[in-house]
Structure 1
Amino acid sequence: MQDHVCSPGCTHGVTPETEKDITEEFQESRRRFLRDAMVIGGGAATLGAMSMPAGAFAASASTSPGAGNASHYYIPASVETVLWGYFSKSAKPVVELNSGDFATIETLTHHANDDAERMVKGDPGAESIFYWDAQRKGVDRRGAGPMDAKIGAGAGAGVHILTGPVHINGAEPGDVLEVRIIDVAPRPSGNAAFKGRTYGSNVAAAWGFQYGDLLTEPKKREVVTIYEVDATGERNWARAVYNYRWTPQTDPFGIVHPTIDYPGVPVDRSTISENHGILKNIRVPIRPHFGTIGVAPAEADMVTSIPPSYTGGNIDNWRIGKGATLYYPVAVKGAMFTVGDPHASQGDSELCGTAIECSLTGTFQFILHKKSDLPGTPLAELHYPLLETQDDWVLHGFSYANYLAELGPNAQDEIYNKSSVDRAMRDAYRKMRHFLMTTQGLGEDEAISLMSIAVDFGITQVVDGNWGVHAIINKGMFPARET
């Protein structure tokens, strides 16, 4: 980010070729925001421009009766607004906003180069981020590892393209940040040959649960499957287009990648064989959501995006989509919210290593709950990422609730050798017990009985280093709270 502050209508950092596309997309987001604000607030909304940092656009809107004006920011995905592969408590924020404000945030999949023709070409934001020639990369650091790593800067120790961070004014350790997902929309292909369509990549990867446990030769293989999604949202299912086996790829710097060991490596199409006619007549239900979403942890300045932890991150729960609300314990000043790893669809466990990795744009509202106001509320003592949907509360357990603190100075490496479903289940059990006892006033025996007869425990993911188990309980069984 540069130290330039945009005035209303400023197009700093936007080329003439992209200005029209960005403006049109922002106007569409404004229309959606107006619609959603009227649903939330039950009244009319008004818009107006205001100054803000480079790389984002803003407007003000009345969000609810008596709430005053809230700002609505638009944050495009560009080399200035993303962190590739890590959360950071000290990265320069792309925007600073207040409690109650909204932000529409573009997110790009780190797998777009699996089919650059469909997911990168003609898209200025993606082209800038994925740019890579013999002299430079658009985004050099990819991961929280050393910059001089032979495999590439950042060592691929963290793979997700994350937009942010967003600084929440007034947020301090001990507070709770509420994040409401107002809307989620697929990012259309920028290539005119694929107008009206969106694409995503599913990779059966070396880090997947299935790797090394295959029936057919070669017994260790990585397979990329490209899916097509309707960019208009009218068709609620995806279809497979083709697949191919990963072959050793030589990146523009001359490094050979025998496996998918570094994010964003361009695929030389002459080295692969496309297999069409796969998964015939199968419609995959669309469940757009954000795989990686959370705030910055306090334990290290730069934390890999792969294992999830107490501040959220790479949770990979398909329920984190439109209409969901998340609650995070704030660990650092400003909270430093970051989002990415967008998915078109995924099943519980994310078994082969990825979902349908598909670029999305989301609209979020941020509500800050101060520590002093938490006692006596359901958010008191919250020390884990909590998800609320229309019908359920969803708690997330991990092999290690806070692996950064539990595993010592080498935690970001050690976590990959320590995960187990048993540990994640134990953590989910303890969190649900705590939740029922503190928010519903139940005794321990009551909580345990209710967990066995009414809570659904499921495997969130077994591929992110810190494996996850989620616990779901229906909100409707509890009596309404007195206000």
Structure 2
Amino acid sequence: MTVPALQPGTGTVPGEHLLLSTPGTVSWGRLPNAASTPVLSVASGATVTFEALSHEGIMADQGRDPVAFLAGFGVAAGDVLADAIEIAASDLPNGPDDGPHVVTGPVAVAGARPGDVLRVDVLDLVPRQPYGFVSSRHGLGALPGELPEDGVPAVFEFCPVSVAGGRLVSSVAAPDGRRATFPLDPFLGVMGVAPATEDPVHSVPPGDHGGNIDIKWTRVGSSLYLPVQVDGGLFYVGDPHYAQGNGEVALTAVEASLRATLRLTVLSGDDAARAVGTLTSPVVETATHWVPTGMDVDLDEAMRQCVRRALTFLTERFGLTRSTAMAYLSAAADFEVSQVVDTVKGIHCMIRKADFAAWV
């Protein structure tokens, strides 16, 4: 294995603040809400390094014992993360009505108020372990009832990490040993703010608060804009991925822990309007694209939401009429399926910045 295990707090920590994943700083399967107490408070513009922990290897159907579970795939005890061992052995609840995700936070950002926008700049994502898993569980995924096959309740596809062509890659194996190899493009599947409710919030369905949006373009160099719903924002992370295809059809992507360094900045008034206009749903920005989102339990409705939000973005930012903006979207934008496996399904729209160079 070519990537050493990056244990909590060891090695380079780029952020001004370090937030470990411990039984005192995480929830398991639930998101922070309006009643949650921050585990860290920072100034607007601060950088935070999160030790984002994958749930794979610690779940109940994996024995809630990562050392024993991973030994079955040839992983030495020294390559098992200490925070995975600690959380699996803790008394943190994670029952059948909870999601799988280990959610780290929340972080209060000074000055964040409802109506503001929290800008999350993804500065650095470092793999913490030399392996990951793609999981398929019975009754879930894009083909529930078809896969897993033969009545097997779950399949855990082990994905080792190696180096090929100067970059990190992973792979899956055929029965004869040949491997299909694909590049690692890490991102955090869960980034969000607390919704304005004191009711429990399941970690699986995404929404206007962000959460489990599973948009693979939230890689290093991207920014995620989240509408603040409660004082302080109460930001959190989870569900770290090494790679994902649009759709995430099996149920999971390549699930594996990351050291994620993010900048958290509060945008108010004109600054918020310049970033996202009147949109009150997550928007992603990359070096090359603006990416509005749509989410609903019905994929067709998610598509309609995304089209409407892309129209709002274009008409407010560039002064296009709705009919002209619709023509542009049909001619030049790509609508992609973010994921179809998180109860609330996601569509995102890729709007090329280069097409609007005359406005910049």
TM-score range, shorter chain: 0.7 to 0.9
- The runs of 5 or more residues in structure 2 that have no matched partner are 1-5, 63-68
Distance 1:218 1:85, change over 3 A: same
8 Å contact kept, 1:289–1:321: yes
Tell me the residue number matched to 1:172: 113
Shift of 1:278: 6.4
Secondary structure at 2:105's aligned position in 1? strand
Tell me the residue number matched to 1:223: 155
CA distance in 1, matches of 2:154, 2:354: 44
Kindly report which structure 2 residues correspond to 1:109-258, keeping only aligned pairs within 5 A, or say none: 109-113=54-58, 114=62, 115-117=69-71, 118=75, 122-131=80-89, 138-142=90-94, 152=95, 155-188=96-129, 198-206=130-138, 207-213=140-146, 218=150, 221-230=153-162, 235-240=167-172
Shift of 1:124: 2.1
Pick from 303, 309, 312 the counterpart of residue 201 of structure 2.
Answer: 303
CA distance in 1, matches of 2:37, 2:176: 45
Kindly report which structure 2 residues correspond to 1:19-58, keeping only aligned pairs within 5 A, or say none: 22=8, 24-25=10-11, 28-30=12-14
8 Å contact kept, 1:120–1:127: no
8 Å contact kept, 1:292–1:315: yes
Is 1:464 paired with 2:342? yes
Secondary structure at 1:479's aligned position in 2? helix
Deviation readout 1:48-67 (Å, 9 max, x if unpaired)? xxxxxxxxxxxxxxxxxxxx
Is 1:390 paired with 2:322? no
Deviation readout 1:402-425 (Å, 9 max, x if unpaired)? xxxxxxxxxxxxxxxxx2211111
Is 1:102 paired with 2:54? no
Shift of 1:380: 2.8
Look at both structures and tell me which one has the larger radius of gyration over its CA atoms. 1
Letter in 2 for 1:182: L
Shift of 1:156: 3.6
Distance 1:172 1:221, change over 3 A: same
Letter in 2 for 1:209: A
CA distance in 2, matches of 1:335, 1:278: 51
Secondary structure at 2:276's aligned position in 1? coil
Q: CA RMSD in A?
A: 2.5
- The runs of 5 or more residues in structure 1 that have no matched partner are 1-19, 34-71, 132-137, 143-151, 189-197, 242-275, 400-418
Letter in 2 for 1:73: H
Secondary structure at 1:225's aligned position in 2? strand
CA distance in 2, matches of 1:379, 1:101: 21
8 Å contact kept, 1:120–1:126: no
Secondary structure at 1:125's aligned position in 2? helix
Is 1:85 paired with 2:29? yes
Kindly report which structure 2 residues correspond to 1:6-21, keeping only aligned pairs within 5 A, or say none: none
Q: TM-score, normalised by structure 1?
A: 0.66
Kindly report which structure 2 residues correspond to 1:366-445, keeping only aligned pairs within 5 A, or say none: 366-371=264-269, 373-375=271-273, 377-399=274-296, 419-445=297-323
8 Å contact kept, 2:289–2:353: yes
Q: Larger % of strand: which?
A: 2
Distance 1:23 1:86, change over 3 A: closer
Secondary structure at 1:334's aligned position in 2? coil
Secondary structure at 2:190's aligned position in 1? strand
CA distance in 1, matches of 2:18, 2:351: 34
CA distance in 1, matches of 2:317, 2:167: 40
Distance 1:97 1:296, change over 3 A: same
Pick from 18, 23, 33 the counterpart of residue 74 of structure 1.
Answer: 18
8 Å contact kept, 2:318–2:359: no
Q: How many residues of Structure 1 are paired with residues of Structure 2 in the alignment?
A: 340
Kindly report which structure 2 residues correspond to 1:279-290, keeping only aligned pairs within 5 A, or say none: 280-290=178-188
Deviation readout 1:343-376 (Å, 9 max, x if unpaired)? 111111100111111111100001111136545x
Identity of aligned residues (%): 34
Shift of 1:300: 3.8
8 Å contact kept, 2:213–2:338: yes
Letter in 2 for 1:435: F
CA distance in 2, matches of 1:119, 1:361: 21
Shift of 1:100: 1.0
Letter in 2 for 1:475: K
Bigger shift: residues 217-226 or 358-367? 217-226
Secondary structure at 2:10's aligned position in 1? helix
Deviation readout 1:247-274 (Å, 9 max, x if unpaired)? xxxxxxxxxxxxxxxxxxxxxxxxxxxx
8 Å contact kept, 2:8–2:51: no
Shift of 1:340: 0.6
CA distance in 2, matches of 1:84, 1:345: 22
Q: TM-score, normalised by structure 2?
A: 0.87
CA distance in 2, matches of 1:168, 1:278: 52
Larger RCO of the pair (alpha carbons < 8 Å, separation 6+):
2
Distance 1:428 1:139, change over 3 A: farther
Letter in 2 for 1:384: S
CA distance in 1, matches of 2:177, 2:349: 32
Shift of 1:396: 1.3
Distance 1:231 1:96, change over 3 A: farther
CA distance in 2, matches of 1:393, 1:99: 23
Secondary structure at 1:382's aligned position in 2? coil
CA distance in 2, matches of 1:278, 1:74: 44
Shift of 1:90: 2.2
Secondary structure at 1:478's aligned position in 2? helix
Letter in 2 for 1:381: T
Is 1:475 paired with 2:353? yes
